[in-house]
């Protein structure tokens, strides 16, 4: 322990108390806000104890968590959104108390406080088990995969615990409005987890094994089959498993289909799966509107890269015109992929003003999963996708230039 570390920790701790106090008691218009003091006590007393323990037991970890600065712009956005959530949530709680808008039963804050303290103990256990924990997404020197303790139960115990901690805070404050704001946290943290998974899978040795990744599997269902005791698989399990394999393998047409894939499918049929019904109802059957919009997209599809790539798109206006939703467009990319001479098919549909879902398919040699991962997505070698922000033409040109490198 150093004097500098001690002073740094104390200053940030005191500033945290002042900031939270201002966010709670100023909107409340009074310091006579019992639930505000309940949150302050339950939040900062354990934090102080944990800080003291780390200062003597693991000062390196404390220093790392106090001084870490996120370098990735995407994660900086996550931090900003989290900060905004706290500000809005705490201010709303104070105003809720002041004007008596929507309050919870008096017993709820105390139950929430008990849950918070249990979650904080789990938080401390995570810190004990994983000394590589950092506030930023990074792989440290000599870092190893932790797969015991809580990490043997949940892949990301730290995030699981913080979700519990953060969702109990507005309940301690007795504010329904604040709780609604904090419900955005799981969505915010999901973005961080997605980015962290990509970094760990590529940079941390052994993490892919921890995740049980089978790169040559046709589908997640095929991976799941390896993890299950076949004797315990009945018809109710076999049906969705068969459907997952059939859909992800393009009804056993994609290159990812292997003899093992077919054997698993055969085993599912022996469990009583009605193949004709499943494929007809979930894969082949289309509505009239689906047929019409697919025909429109096919008629306007563009061949590129000397006929080795084809792409099509569907805007929000087109979806409105034909009365379809994004769920009705799942099979479009497979339909344009069938064009003779095409190696890669690309289909884009609009999610919002400057956001598009991109589906990529290939036939023989282009690994579209790599292209998807580079754009924040993922998938299989021959079937992958991503959500990309930007103008439609800019996205298309960017992806065509990337595909050109592999063709």
Give residue-wise pLDDT tens across range 285-302: 889 999 999 999 999 999
User: Would you state the pLDDT for residue 62?
Assistant: 66
Taking the model in full, what pTM does it have?
0.57
Highest CATH level, class, for 288-404: alpha beta
User: Would you state the pLDDT for residue 108?
Assistant: 95
Beta carbons of 115 and 95 less than 8 angstroms apart: no
User: Would you state the pLDDT for residue 209?
Assistant: 64
- Report H helices in 144-287: 157-172, 176-182, 185-203, 207-210, 220-227, 235-248, 259-270, 275-279
User: Would you state the pLDDT for residue 129?
Assistant: 81
Question: Can you list the residues of the chain whose pLDDT is less than 50?
Answer: none
User: Would you state the pLDDT for residue 163?
Assistant: 93
Domain layout of the chain by residue ranges: 3-209, 220-284, 288-404
Strands 355-362 and 383-389: antiparallel
User: Would you state the pLDDT for residue 79?
Assistant: 83
For 11-20, how does the pLDDT look when each residue is reduced to its tens digit (9 = 90+)? Answer: 888 999 999 9
Whole-Å CA distances, 133 to 12, 58, 74, 151, 243: 19, 12, 19, 12, 39
Whole-Å CA distances, 84 to 87, 200, 216: 5, 28, 42
Q: Tokens 């469990």, residue?
A: 271
Q: Which option is the CATH number for 3-209: 1.20.120.1630, 1.10.240.10, 3.40.50.720, 1.10.760.10?
A: 1.20.120.1630
Beta carbons of 298 and 312 less than 8 angstroms apart: yes
User: Would you state the pLDDT for residue 93?
Assistant: 95
Beta carbons of 185 and 168 less than 8 angstroms apart: no
Structure tokens at 26: 């100023």
């Amino acid at each position: 322990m150093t004097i500098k570390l001690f002073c740094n920790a104390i200053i940030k701790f005191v500033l945290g108390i002042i900031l939270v106090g201002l966010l709670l008691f100023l909107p409340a218009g009074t310091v006579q806000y019992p639930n505000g003091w309940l949150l302050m006590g339950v939040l900062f007393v354990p934090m102080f104890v944990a800080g003291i323990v780390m200062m003597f037991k693991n000062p390196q970890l404390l220093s790392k968590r106090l001084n870490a600065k996120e370098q990735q712009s995407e994660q900086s956005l996550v931090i900003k959104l989290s900060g905004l959530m706290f500000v809005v949530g705490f201010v709303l709680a104070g105003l809720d108390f002041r004007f008596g808008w929507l309050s919870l039963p008096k017993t709820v804050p105390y139950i929430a406080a008990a849950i918070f303290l249990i979650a904080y103990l789990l938080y401390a256990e995570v810190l004990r088990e994983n000394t590589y924990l950092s506030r930023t997404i990074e792989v440290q020197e000599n870092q190893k995969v932790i797969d015991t303790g809580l990490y043997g139960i949940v892949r990301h115990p730290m995030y699981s615990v913080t979700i519990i901690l953060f969702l109990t805070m507005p309940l301690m404050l007795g504010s329904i409005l604040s709780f609604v704001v904090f419900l955005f946290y799981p969505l915010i943290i999901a973005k961080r987890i997605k980015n962290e998974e990509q970094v760990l899978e590529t940079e941390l040795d052994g993490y892919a094994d921890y995740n049980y990744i089978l790169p040559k599997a046709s589908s997640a269902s095929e991976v799941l089959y390896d993890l299950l005791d076949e004797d315990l698989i009945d018809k109710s399990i076999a049906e969705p498993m068969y459907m997952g394999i059939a859909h992800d393998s393009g009804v056993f047409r994609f290159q990812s289909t292997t003899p093992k894939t077919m054997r698993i499918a055969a085993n599912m049929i022996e469990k009583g799966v009605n193949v004709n019904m499943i494929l007809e109802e979930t894969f082949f059957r289309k509505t009239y509107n689906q047929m019409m919009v697919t025909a429109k997209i096919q008629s306007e599809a563009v061949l590129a890269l000397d006929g080795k790539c084809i792409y099509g798109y569907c805007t929000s206006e087109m979806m409105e015109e034909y009365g379809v939703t994004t769920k009705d467009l799942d099979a479009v990319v497979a339909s344009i992929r069938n064009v003779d001479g095409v190696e890669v098919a690309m289909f884009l549909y609009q999610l919002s003003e400057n956001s598009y879902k991109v589906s990529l398919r290939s036939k023989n040699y282009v690994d579209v999963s790599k292209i998807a991962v580079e754009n924040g997505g993922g998938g299989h070698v021959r079937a992958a996708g991503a959500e990309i922000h930007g103008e439609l033409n800019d996205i298309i040109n960017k992806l065509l230039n990337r595909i050109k490198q592999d063709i």
